[in-house]
Each structure stands twice: as C-alpha cells, then as structure tokens.
Amino acid sequence: MLFINTLDESTGPGGLVAAQTQTPVTDGELLDSYSRTVISALKAVSPAVVFIQVKSKAVKKSQSLGRPGSGGRGNDQERGGSGSGFLFTPDGYIFTNSHVVHGADEINVVFSDGREMPARLIGEDSHSDLAVIQTWAPNIEPAKLGDSSKLSPGQIVVAIGNPYGFQSTVTAGIVSALGRTMRAQSGRLIDDVIQTDAALNPGNSGGPLVNSRGEVVGVNTAVILPAQGICLAVPINTAKFVAVALLKDGFVRRGWIGVAAQNIPLSNRLRRFHQITNGGAILVIGVEKNSPSARAGLREGDAIVSFNGSVIDSVDDLHRLLLTVQSEQNCPLVVIRHSELVTLSVHPDLKS
C-alpha cells in the first residue's frame, strides 16, 4: 500500500496551521489508474486501426498425365491473408507491414465501425518491412504519431491489432528494450527495433504500438518464436521517413554502407574533449564483409558521431541521411575509436 501526503489546513490563534496527513492509496486504485491509461490510449487510436484482408493469385501447374496439351498449363488459385494497419493521414493513407500486402492483387480494409473499403498499394519497403496503402476513410480521425526516440525501457505501451482475425484486440505491456536489430525478409538488418512484451500474434502485423498518451510509437512487425513475450516493432520515426519516400516515389532508394548499430549516450566529458555537439552516438556492433563500411575501415566498437558533415545522434539520423546520398558520393564518416576522433571516407552503394 502506498501513501500520498496531503495538507490539512486549520486556523487557530496563531493563524493558519498546516498539518501533514497521509492518505492511503490502495492496490485497487493503482490498478484502476493503469486501466484508465490503457483505455485512454485505446480510445485515442482504435478508430484509426483497420483489419486488412488481401487476396493474391498463385499459378499452380497441373501435373502431366501423358495427355497432349496437359503439361505446362497453369490454373489460377486464389490465396488470402490478413493483417493490421492504421490510418495516419486524413486523406486515407495507412501504415502496415510489407509482408502483409506483398504480392497482393486485391486489398480490402475493415474499420472498427464495420465499414469495408477497397484499398490500393502506394508502395512498400521490404528492407524495413513497411508499406503504405490508401483507402477512402471519411470522418475517421487518423492516429497521432509520436516520437520513438523519447521511449524508455519500462514505459507502458499498448498494442492494437487483429490477431487471427479477432478485430480490435488490445494488449498492454512495457518497452522491454530499445536498439534491437531484426533481419527483414529481404535479408537486410532493421536497426533500432523496439522490443516489447505486449502480446502479439499473427495478424497483429502492421498494427500500432501506442504510448500512454495515445501516440503511435511503433509499427508491430514480428514475434520471436517459440519465446514468450518477445515481440518487436519498427520505430515510428523510421516509419515517418520511409513514408515520405513511398508517397513520393512508391519505393525507397537508400544509400547502404553495411553496418549494424545501436544508440548510445555520450558523456559530457567526451563531448567537451572532442568539442562535438552530439547528444549521443551510434555504436557499431557489426560490419558486413566487402561492404562500403568494411572497405572504409570501419570496425566493431567504433562510435559514429558524424556522417557526410551532419551530426549523428541516433540510428534514425543515419537512416535519414542515407536516404539523401548519391551512389557516386564519397562521404566523410567521423567515429570515436579508443577515445580518439577518426575520420574515414565511405562510398555508399545505392539500393532500392
């Protein structure tokens, strides 16, 4: 049981006297407060969450039985799938996962009020497992996007989606860890992934991960099996700049340097010593063989503080800058290595 201090004010001959008393806070009241937090987040976002149904045609070759003309002919066989997504603009643009809509010939979305609408694919990026689709969504308030860089381990988060087709399912948990890496289906590493224990199941893919203020901080994307309570989400800051590229071109063209990294803080002493303005840096935890980073001499344990003349505080900063580089550029890469400032020259590959 917790106690809250209050002031009991009374007047007497000496004037106003404040006597401190203690008001007990019961476990039930604490649980009610937690419930109100989850309910508030759910109310803020759930109208914008959609159930996505996809259909695609697969060609199934018939088996030859020795009859003329039977070999090599195909039969169209329709396949279906489902997932989640959420509206993030008033004009019907929806975030979801690339693996939910990849290869779809037909996409339909169902809103929480039961309305079903057709949707079209705007673009997808398999390297971040993100996609944007668009539908007609009148009178529906889009979800508010938050700032995933402000997340902290232990923070309450709420996941909303449609696991196994059960629409508008809500689960709650905490941010278990930040700065994880996950390999996308394309084989590329997704950096700075959010780990949460909010329960996710197949069908939650593409749904929002929401903070206690009702702001979307991540796009739910994966469950680690057979583990219990290890679920992953792509940070909303990553999704924001991917969306800009998808809305502009329908695909993401980015510079690639072949490095896996995670966010780290920098001490005031280190910043003053090197006379840099960084609030943080990114620690290199892996360098791919024969990659631009490997050719430039980047090593595991280096802390990247600047790329192409711009300060690097987080993995999101590096991702954002790699979207702007051209393949013919030689980009200066400044790192802290064994307390020394080292400048390398990296030549990014351009990939889409």
CATH fold of 144-235 reads: Thrombin, subunit H (2.40.10)
Q: Where along the chain do the CATH 2.40.10.10 domains lie?
A: 144-235
> For the ranges 47-61, 130-144, 297-311, which has the lowest average pLDDT?
47-61
Take residue 267 and report the two structure tokens written for it.
Answer: 């001490």
Largest CA distance in the chain: 114
Compute the C-alpha angle 80/84/90, nearest 5°. Answer: 120
Q: Where along the chain do the CATH 2.30.42.10 domains lie?
A: 254-351
* Annotated active-site residue in 84, 98, 128, 129: 129
Only one residue has tokens 């949460």, namely: 196
**pLDDT at 73 (0 to 100):** 44
Report the pLDDT averaged over residues 107-130. Answer: 92
Rounded to whole angstroms, how far apart are CA atoms 113 and 139?
11
Q: Is the pLDDT of residue 241 over 70?
A: yes
CATH class of 254-351: mainly beta
Q: Count other Cβ atoms within 10 Å, centred on residue 222.
A: 22
Q: Is 99 a residue of the active site?
A: yes
Residue 256 CB partners (closer than 8 Å, separation 6+): 291, 292, 322, 348, 349, 350, 351
Report the pLDDT averaged over residues 24-51. Answer: 82
* Annotated active-site residue in 46, 82, 84, 99: 99
Q: Is the pLDDT of residue 129 over 70?
A: yes
**pLDDT at 162 (0 to 100):** 87
Report the pLDDT averaged over residues 67-95. Answer: 72
Q: Is the pLDDT of residue 207 over 70?
A: yes
Question: 243: helix, coil or strand?
Answer: helix
Q: Is the pLDDT of residue 334 over 90?
A: yes
Band of residue 24 on the pLDDT scale cut at 50, 70, 90: low
Of residues 4 and 344, more confidently modeled: 344
Q: Is the pLDDT of residue 66 over 80?
A: no
Take residue 245 and report the two structure tokens written for it.
Answer: 């590229």
* Annotated active-site residue in 82, 205, 293, 314: 205
Q: Is the pLDDT of residue 270 over 70?
A: yes
Mean pLDDT of the chain: 84
Please give the share of the chain, as a percent, with pLDDT higher than 70. 83
Q: Is 313 a residue of the active site?
A: no
Rounded to whole angstroms, how far apart are CA atoms 315 and 296?
19
Report the pLDDT averaged over residues 229-250. Answer: 90
